[in-house]
């Protein structure tokens, strides 16, 4: 039995306890999600709990019970609707989460078909986008819509015919007078959700969470007029019964649905190999955010109906199909410890050490807990099962605790009074007045010094190519650098003395350092790691003063008078530049580098008076280039979204800034819209 996966308990006793907690928790949240249309946790987090359940049951098959959530379709019809018994039982697909699981599926399919038909065959597959909406079952009699029902528990659903008739993309009569049962997905457009949320906010109500939940809630409204006003949509993807012969493959079936007049998602394709399937899945991970509907994976089906019939069904799912989910942006895992980390400005951050888990395509074992107040707000304890979120390139974040999973052995975390440095020495911790954060009293801790150097050479600072944390560590450990200016006095011989450095790599590092000697004033200020001074604040200061000489002479009042710089930041700047050690550091640095002063801000550009916030990854522009273009046209760039924000430019994998913009009613621009505006 393979128990190498860290998520699988090592003993049967531990497995029994974990399975009991998982089953109870999954049933609770599945009932809320499928029956009540409520979500206490995200669908991705629920998927993660179900996936863990399946993995443990596979490792301990004798612990599988008939009532396990893995053995049946969830949900039951609501009492407020007339019940409809499905003429064809409704199934749900099993899930896969990575390429390895898909190759296992391919092997199972080929082996099963070989036994069923008595020969080896290699089926082709059809890939269809998995739309995140609400399943609907449509019954037509002689080409006319008879009933529409929800999936319910797979045997009995809810009669939502009157509401489905309000969906314009559902044909009331087909192009052929056939009788049959057709399945699809009801969904709501992202742009529709945005419109409805603006109306909710204007009326003083809370905005809706996501289009899937709103679509599900809308289709269950008792008043069809509400359904019509909310403009739902539908994609039809399957024929489960027909009074004539069905096409002999899935591709032709989808084309036949289109011929009948159904709206079919156009992004389906035939794949000859499993590698082709995986390539399609990987491509749509990047493309999905650009569509106006939510996509949470790819449905993969054997194309040939002959082989589909041979494969048949298990107790809960078809053997011929599987749902290949996109890498989840929310998963569940266990918090094993909380460790303090000292940042470059001395701020002490509690970091969660997690049982390793894959989220958004990468394995994560650490997540920030931000500060003591956040730990108390979450009520997170060592040993808890937690929900981990990662959006795009954003650092993983714990967003909630699954408290139903608690056993009573979890331990509360008490914020310590001291923090240990790399060399074993300790520093007292103090809470920063008026803030939630703590900091180390000793501002010269070695751990803090390392992080300041990491930031100094990073893309946000001097952007020294090939000079990452490992190189900085080696230089510090060899006592070759102690202050920032030491980097610019390194010789080829100094670098060659380091382990794992040959002549070519040493020359490349020296060349990269020399290439970085010219820097803009804004980036220079950013690189200094002045407390409370981020990229945008540094840019504002650079633009306000124009050169480093004026900044060095500035007073608290001078800094405080800059738009966007508050008293806390102004005091931090005044204190930093008044420190005699920093005076000496600046003198030495300015002897080694050249600072490019900012151009005078234009007052005639088309973006004058407009403030932009950028979020997500832009496809055709580097973010720094986008900021430069905005400023060149007279616009402002801010780090956070507020009521004063004019536009939010959203690229791929936007983070929480997009959510805040939607809640505040700030106009959101796609990259395409943004580029049009610049022209």
**Mode of pairing for the β-strands spanning 347-359 and 362-368:** antiparallel
Q: Which two tokens stand for residue 32?
A: 């809320």
Q: What is the pTM of this model?
A: 0.58
458 and 561 inside one domain: yes
Each residue's pLDDT tens digit, 328-340: 778 899 999 998 8
* pLDDT tens-place string over residues 235-261: 999 999 999 999 999 999 999 999 999
| CATH number (domain holding residue 247) | 3.30.470.30
| Separation between Cα atoms, residue 438 and residue 455, nearest integer Å | 20
- CB-CB contact of 65 with 138 (8 Å): no
Cα→Cα distances 82→146, 181, 182, 220, 273, Å: 14, 19, 20, 11, 45
Please count the other Cβ atoms lying within 10 Å of the Cβ belonging to residue 437.
Answer: 16
Last residue of a domain, one of 562, 596, 630: 596
Q: CA of 513: how far to CAs of 490, 589, 591, 602, in Å? A: 9, 13, 15, 33
Flag whether pLDDT at 515 surpasses 70: yes
Give residue-wise pLDDT tens across range 450-477: 888 999 999 989 999 999 999 998 888 8
CA atoms of 80 and 78, how far apart (whole Å) = 6
Does 495 map to a domain?
yes
* Contact in structure between 519 and 527 (CB atoms under 8 Å): yes
| Helix and strand numbers, DSSP H then E, in the chain | 24, 27
Say if residues 380 and 401 touch (Cβ distance below 8 Å).
yes
663 and 572 within one domain: no
Q: Which of 5-14, 231-240, 503-512 has the lowest mean pLDDT?
A: 5-14
Quick count: other Cβ atoms within 10 Å of Cβ 107? 11
Considering 364, 399, 431, which residue would you say is the last residue of a domain?
Answer: 431
Domain identity same for 56 and 94 = no
> Any long-range contacts for 581-587 (C-beta under 8 Å, 24+ apart)?
583/552, 585/483, 585/484, 585/485, 586/548, 586/552
Same domain for 568 and 633?
A: no
Q: What angle do CA 289, 631, 556 make, to 5 degrees?
A: 115
Higher-confidence residue: 422 or 170? 170
Of 380, 398, 431, at which residue does a domain stop?
Answer: 431
Q: What is the predicted pLDDT for the residue at 207?
A: 80
Looking at per-residue confidence, does 211 or 519 come out higher? 519
Instruction: Tell me: do 377 and 452 sit in the same domain.
Output: no
Give the model's confidence band at 434: pLDDT under 50 very low, under 70 low, under 90 confident, else very high. confident
Q: In the chain, how many domains are there?
A: 5
| Alpha-carbon span 372 to 367, nearest angstrom | 14
- What CATH number is associated with residue 629? 3.40.50.10190
Question: Stretch 191-216: mean pLDDT, rounded?
Answer: 85
Angle value at C-alpha 449, between 446 and 451, nearest 5 degrees: 115
User: What is the distance between the alpha carbons of residues 612 and 667, in angstroms, rounded to a whole number?
Assistant: 10
| Cβ–Cβ under 8 Å, residues 225 and 197 | no
Judged on CB neighbours under 10 Å (0-12, 13-18, 19+), 540 is buried
| Beta strand extents in 472-600 (DSSP E only) | 518-520, 594-596
> Containing H/E element for 296?
strand 295-302
**pLDDT at residue 79 is higher than 60:** no
Together in a domain, 233 and 290: yes
The more confident residue out of 547 and 360 is: 547
Query: Per-residue pLDDT tens for 616-674?
Result: 888 788 887 888 888 888 888 887 788 888 999 988 777 778 878 888 888 999 888 89
d(CA 228, CA 219): 10
| pLDDT confidence band for 366 (50 / 70 / 90) | confident
Q: Which of 35-49, 178-192, 445-459, 478-492 has the highest mean pLDDT?
A: 178-192
Tell me, yes or no, whether 293 and 220 share the same domain.
Answer: yes
CATH number for the domain including 32?
Answer: 1.10.287.610
Same domain for 590 and 484: yes
Q: Are residues 497 and 479 in the same domain?
A: yes
Q: Which residue range(s) make up the domain with 621?
A: 611-678
Catalytic residue among 24, 82, 122, 130: 130
Say what the alpha-carbon torsion angle 511, 515, 516, 521 is, to the nearest 10 degrees: 170
Query: What is the Rg, in whole angstroms, of the alpha carbon atoms belonging to the chain?
Result: 29
Positive or negative, the CA dihedral 512, 518, 523, 528 is positive
What pLDDT sits at residue 553?
94
What span, in angstroms and rounded, lies between the C-alpha atoms of 448 and 455?
A: 11
Q: Is residue 6 part of a domain?
A: no
Residue 1 lies in a domain: no
| Mean pLDDT, residues 160-181 | 91
Residues 98 and 231 in one domain: yes
In a domain, 567, yes or no: yes
Q: What is the pLDDT of residue 417?
A: 87
User: What average pLDDT does this structure show over 44-48?
Assistant: 88
Q: How many CB atoms lie within 10 A of CB 262?
A: 22
pLDDT digits (tens, 9 = 90+) for 99-125: 999 999 999 999 999 998 889 999 999
Query: Mean pLDDT over residues 145-152, rounded?
Result: 92
The tens digit of pLDDT for each residue in 312-328 reads: 988 778 999 999 998 87
Assigned domain for 176 exists: yes
3-state secondary structure 448-490: HHHHHHHHHHCCCCCCCCCCCHHHHHHHHHCCCCCCHHHHHHC
Tell me which DSSP letter residue 303 carries. S
Phi, psi of 89, deg, nearest 5: -60, 140
Is residue 436 domain-resident? no
**Is 672 noted as a catalytic residue in this protein?**
no
Burial classification of residue 78, based on how many CB atoms lie within 10 Å of its CB (0-12 exposed, 13-18 middle, 19 or more buried): middle
Tokens 């049946």 -> residue: 72
How far is it, in rounded angstroms, from Cα 320 to Cα 112?
10
Asked whether residue 298 falls in the same domain as residue 405, the answer is no
Quote the tokens at residue 299: 């449905």
Contact 300, 321 (CB under 8 A): yes
Predicted confidence band of residue 1 (pLDDT cuts 50, 70, 90) = very low
Phi-psi region at 52: left, alpha or beta (left = phi > 0; alpha = psi -120 to 50) = alpha
Whole-number Cα distances in Å, 596 to 288, 517, 522, 599, 624: 41, 10, 9, 9, 16
- Three-state DSSP string of 118-178: CCCCCCCEEEEEEECCEEEEEEEECCEEEEEEECCCCCEEEECHHHHCCCCCCCCECCCCC
Does 5 fall in a domain? no
* 587 and 555 together in one domain: yes
Helix, strand, coil shares of the chain, percent, nearest 5, are: 40, 20, 40
Is residue 487 in a domain? yes
pLDDT(299) > 80:
yes
Residues whose CB falls within 8 Å of the CB of residue 601, separated by 6 or more in sequence, listed in order: 543, 631, 634
Four-residue CA torsion sign, 481, 487, 489, 494: positive
């Amino acid at each position: 039995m393979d128990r190498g996966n860290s998520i699988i308990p090592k003993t049967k006793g531990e497995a029994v306890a974990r399975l009991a907690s998982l089953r109870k928790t999954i049933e609770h949240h599945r009932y809320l999600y499928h029956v009540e249309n409520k979500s206490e946790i995200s669908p991705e987090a629920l998927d993660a709990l179900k996936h863990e359940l399946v993995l443990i049951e596979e490792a301990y098959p004798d612990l599988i019970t008939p009532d396990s959530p893995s053995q049946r379709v969830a949900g039951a019809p609501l009492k407020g609707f007339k019940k409809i018994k499905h003429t064809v039982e409704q199934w749900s697909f099993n899930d896969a989460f990575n390429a390895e699981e898909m190759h296992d599926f391919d092997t199972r399919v080929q082996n099963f078909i070989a036994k069923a038909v008595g020969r080896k065959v290699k089926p082709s597959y059809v890939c269809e986008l998995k739309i995140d909406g609400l399943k609907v079952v449509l019954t037509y009699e002689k080409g006319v819509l008879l009933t529409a029902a929800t999936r319910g528990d797979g045997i009995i659903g809810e009669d939502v015919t009157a509401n489905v008739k309000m969906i314009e993309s559902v044909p009331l009569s087909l192009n052929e007078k056939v009788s049959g049962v057709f399945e699809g997905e009801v969904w709501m457009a992202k742009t529709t959700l945005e419109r409805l949320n603006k109306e909710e906010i204007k009326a003083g109500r809370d905005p809706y969470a996501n289009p899937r939940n709103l679509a599900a809630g809308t289709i269950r409204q008792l008043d069809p007029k509400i359904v019509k006003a909310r403009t739902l949509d539908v994609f039809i993807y399957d024929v489960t019964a027909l009074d004539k012969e069905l096409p002999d493959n899935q591709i032709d079936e989808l084309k036949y649905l289109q011929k009948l007049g159904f709206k079919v998602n156009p992004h389906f394709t035939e794949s000859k190999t499993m590698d082709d399937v995986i390539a399609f899945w990987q491509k749509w991970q990047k493309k999905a955010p650009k569509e106006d509907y939510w996509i949470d994976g790819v449905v993969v089906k054997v194309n040939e109906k002959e082989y589909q019939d041979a494969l048949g069904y298990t107790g809960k799912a078809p053997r011929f199909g599987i749902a290949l989910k996109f890498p989840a942006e929310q998963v569940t895992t266990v918090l094993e410890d909380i460790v303090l980390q000292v940042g470059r400005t001395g701020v002490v951050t509690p970091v969660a050490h997690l049982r390793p888990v894959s989220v958004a395509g990468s394995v994560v074992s650490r997540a920030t807990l931000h500060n003591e107040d956040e730990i108390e707000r979450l009520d997170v304890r060592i040993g808890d099962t937690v929900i981990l979120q990662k959006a795009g390139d954003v650092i993983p974040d714990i967003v909630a605790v699954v408290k139903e999973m608690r056993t009573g052995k979890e331990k509360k975390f008490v914020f310590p009074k001291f923090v240990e440095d790399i060399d074993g020495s300790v520093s007292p911790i103090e809470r920063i007045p008026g803030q939630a954060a703590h900091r180390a009293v000793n501002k010269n801790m070695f751990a803090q010094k390392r992080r300041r150097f990491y930031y100094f050479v990073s893309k946000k600072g001097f952007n020294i190519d090939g000079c990452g944390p490992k190189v900085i560590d080696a230089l510090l450990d060899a006592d070759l650098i102690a202050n920032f200016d030491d980097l610019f006095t390194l010789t080829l011989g100094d670098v060659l003395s380091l382990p794992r450095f040959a002549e070519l790599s040493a020359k490349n590092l020296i060349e990269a350092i020399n290439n970085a000697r010219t820097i803009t004033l804004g980036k220079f200020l950013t690189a200094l790691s002045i407390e409370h001074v981020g990229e945008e604040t540094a840019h504002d200061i650079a633009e306000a003063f124009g050169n480093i000489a004026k900044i060095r002479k500035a007073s608290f009042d001078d800094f405080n008078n800059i738009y966007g710089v508050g008293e806390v930041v102004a005091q931090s700047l005044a204190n930093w530049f008044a420190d005699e050690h920093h005076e000496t550091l600046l003198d030495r640095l300015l002897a080694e580098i050249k600072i490019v002063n900012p151009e005078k801000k234009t007052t005639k550009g088309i973006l004058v008076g407009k403030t932009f916030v950028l979020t997500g990854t832009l496809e055709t522009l580097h973010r720094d280039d986008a900021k430069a273009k905005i400023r060149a046209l007279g616009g402002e760039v801010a780090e956070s979204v507020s009521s004063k924000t004019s536009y939010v430019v959203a690229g791929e994998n936007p983070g929480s800034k997009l959510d805040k913009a939607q809640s505040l009613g700030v106009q959101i621009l796609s990259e395409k819209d943004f580029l049009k505006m610049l022209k």
